[in-house]
């Protein structure tokens, strides 16, 4: 372990929602939820104003709407998020050559490798400068954790949220971790957490008290040894410079084998959505969909399907995973399921007409619906909530909503005052899709993202 807190973890605050607030003056200080808006949509990010109502990432969008019916619900604009992420990552690389991105809005930095910091004072100065540079360049805020290991730096950044900096002094780690929930440790998800809870282990200190042998008995050799080391605040994982990712995948192991075929199908759909969220978070797409099934007898089957081109469309990945599942015999039960995407690229190349012909549901971010009219195939424009448009007379704006042949647009830009709302026919030739405008640095960071701790919760 290091003797100085020279590993930095940056986590941008409510990144997607923060970008939307910075882009749209009318949403600053308001509850904003970004994610899929369809019946199976999930929350990608919720602004802090929305979190007051209990909305959080990975929540079904239908539940979020019940909790915060007056929030603004927007479809992600990943192109803009990637652009801003590149600006932030560029600032990190000015601190050190060892930058390990985890997603578009999160990364580790080895300050010691860059000669940027060697003790507590220099590390804190580097963290504060980074926060100021991010605010100056993007107008957004990020939370910074500093510690002697990656695990502790990430825990520190969580404690710093929103828009703060927390430094964990080497030597104080055990005392800090002791009363925390076991879920704070890397690798402790719902299943492992339940195992530990049933054994009467709820806090990190109780893991230490149980001892390494007991952890191995409960969780197996590799997981037990690793978790005990983490509980002892021992983490020697290095910051690994950015390298090519070959695949993105997620999987779940079930405490009780799943026998119901319908349940298996629903789990595969859920995993496909999680995989796409991780794929998009890394700014990637892929052309090969992989399904992994471990059966009741521990035999493991892997099936894959290669598409015409790279995709990051959740509907396409769900449908491919479902087709792969049809070829797998799950009689006797399933103990593990996984969905992955390989053949990665940093772009998408969908063939919408071919997908429609094959019966694949088009994603919410597609530019149009495929319709037949008198035997001819045409594309009907679909106006996506939150996306950018431009009107020949009124200029730049964004879609607030559409339906019944009408589209409602608020005309404003990142630098304007709150804009006026106008409604048009969906086929108005004066209205067209536009590219996002660049953000501008604004006071209050993150476009007024952080609520005043002393004020009452905002109710939109």
pLDDT digits (tens, 9 = 90+) for 360-386: 232 333 334 433 444 444 445 679 999
Greatest alpha-carbon span in the chain? 75
- Span 404-419, mean pLDDT? 95
CB atoms under 10 Å from CB of 209, counted, come to 12
Report pLDDT digits (tens) over 113-130. 989 999 999 999 999 999
419's tokens: 């804009």
In the block, tokens 């605040």 appear at 233
**435-456 average pLDDT score:** 54
**Distance from C-alpha of 5 to C-alpha of 431, rounded to nearest angstrom:** 53
225 and 262 housed in the same domain: no
Q: Coil, strand, or helix at residue 133?
A: helix
Alpha-carbon dihedral sign for residues 168, 172, 176, 177: positive
Report helix, strand or coil for 6.
coil
In a domain, 293, yes or no: yes
369, part of any domain: no
Assigned domain for 114 exists: no
CATH of the domain at 327: 3.30.1490.100
Q: What is the pLDDT of residue 458?
A: 34
State the Cα–Cα distance between residues 138 and 440, nearest whole angstrom. Answer: 6
Better pLDDT: 80 or 190 = 80
**CATH number of the domain encompassing residue 196:** 1.10.150.20
Residue 225 within a domain: yes
In terms of domains, do 226 and 289 share one?
no
Residues 426, 383 contacting (CB under 8 angstroms): yes
344 pLDDT higher than 90: no
Asked whether residue 187 is domain-assigned, the answer is yes
The residue assigned the tokens 């070959």 is: 246
What span, in angstroms and rounded, lies between the C-alpha atoms of 220 and 259? 25
Which of the listed residues 350, 375, 401 is the one where a domain comes to its end? 350
Find the distance separating the first CA and the last CA of the chain, reported in whole Å.
47
- Backbone torsions φ then ψ of 308, nearest 5 degrees: -65, -35
Ramachandran category for residue 446: left, alpha or beta (phi over 0 → left; psi -120 to 50 → alpha): left
CA-nearest of 225, 221, 218, 223 to 195 is: 218
For residue 66, give both structure tokens.
Answer: 């019940």
Residue 323, in any domain of the structure: yes
**Residue of 106, 14, 31 lying closest to 445 (CA atoms):** 14
Is 343 in the same domain as 253?
yes
**Is residue 206 annotated as part of the catalytic site, yes or no?**
no
User: What is the total count of domains within the chain?
Assistant: 2
The answer as to whether 13 is a domain residue is: no
The band of 332, judged by pLDDT with boundaries at 50, 70 and 90, is: confident
- Which of 18-22, 71-75, 183-187, 188-192 has the lowest average pLDDT? 188-192
Helix 314-326 to helix 261-281 angle, to the nearest 10 degrees?
140
Beta strands in 162-227 (DSSP E): 165-167
Q: What is the DSSP letter of 203?
A: B
The residue from 20, 49, 100, 106 that is catalytic is 106
Q: What range does the domain containing 254 cover?
A: 247-350
pLDDT at site 66: 96
Domain contains 267? yes
């Amino acid at each position: 372990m290091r003797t100085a807190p020279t590993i930095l973890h940056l986590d941008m605050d409510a990144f997607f929602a923060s970008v939307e607030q910075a882009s749209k003056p009318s949403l600053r200080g308001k509850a904003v939820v970004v994610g899929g808006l369809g019946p199976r949509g999930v929350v990608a990010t919720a602004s802090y104003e929305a979190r007051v109502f209990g909305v959080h990432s990975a929540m079904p969008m239908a539940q979020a709407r019940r909790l915060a019916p007056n929030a603004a619900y927007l479809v992600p604009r990943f192109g803009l998020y990637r652009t801003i992420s590149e600006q932030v990552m560029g600032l990190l690389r000015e601190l050190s050559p060892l930058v390990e991105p985890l997603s578009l809005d999160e990364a580790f930095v080895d300050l010691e490798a860059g000669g940027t910091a060697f003790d507590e004072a220099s590390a804190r100065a580097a963290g504060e400068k980074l926060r100021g540079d991010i605010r100056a360049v993007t107008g957004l805020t990020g939370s910074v954790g500093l510690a002697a290991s990656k695990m502790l730096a990430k825990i520190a950044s969580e404690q710093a949220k929103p828009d703060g900096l927390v430094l964990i002094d080497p030597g104080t780690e055990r005392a800090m971790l002791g009363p925390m929930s076991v879920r704070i440790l890397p690798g402790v998800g719902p299943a492992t957490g339940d195992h530990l809870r049933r054994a009467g282990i709820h806090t990190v200190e109780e893991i230490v008290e149980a001892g390494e042998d007991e952890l191995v008995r409960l969780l197996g050799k590799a997981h037990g040894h690793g978790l005990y080391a983490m509980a002892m605040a021992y983490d020697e994982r290095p910051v690994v410079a950015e390298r090519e990712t070959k695949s993105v995948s997620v999987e779940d192991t079930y405490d009780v084998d799943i026998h119901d075929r319908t349940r298996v199908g629903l789990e595969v759909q859920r995993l496909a959505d999680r995989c796409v969220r991780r794929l998009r978070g890394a700014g990637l797409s892929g052309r090969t969909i992989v399904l992994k099934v471990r059966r009741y007898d521990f035999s493991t089957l892997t099936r894959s399907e290669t598409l015409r081109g790279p995709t990051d469309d959740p509907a396409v990945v769900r449908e491919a995973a479902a087709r792969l599942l049809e070829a797998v015999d799950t009689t006797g039960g399933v103990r593990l399921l996984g969905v992955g995407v390989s053949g990665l690229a940093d772009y998408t190349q969908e063939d919408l007409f071919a997908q429609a012909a094959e019966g694949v549901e088009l994603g919410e971010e597609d530019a149009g619906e495929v319709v037949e009219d008198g035997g001819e195939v045409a594309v009907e424009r679909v106006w996506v909530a939150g996306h950018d448009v431009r009107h020949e007379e009124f200029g730049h704006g964004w879609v607030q909503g559409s339906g019944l042949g009408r589209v409602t647009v608020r005309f404003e830009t990142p630098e304007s005052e709150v804009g006026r709302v106008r409604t048009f026919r969906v086929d108005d030739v004066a209205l067209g899709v536009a590219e996002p405008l660049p953000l501008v640095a604004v006071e209050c960071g993150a476009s007024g993202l952080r609520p005043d701790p002393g004020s009452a919760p905002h109710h939109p």
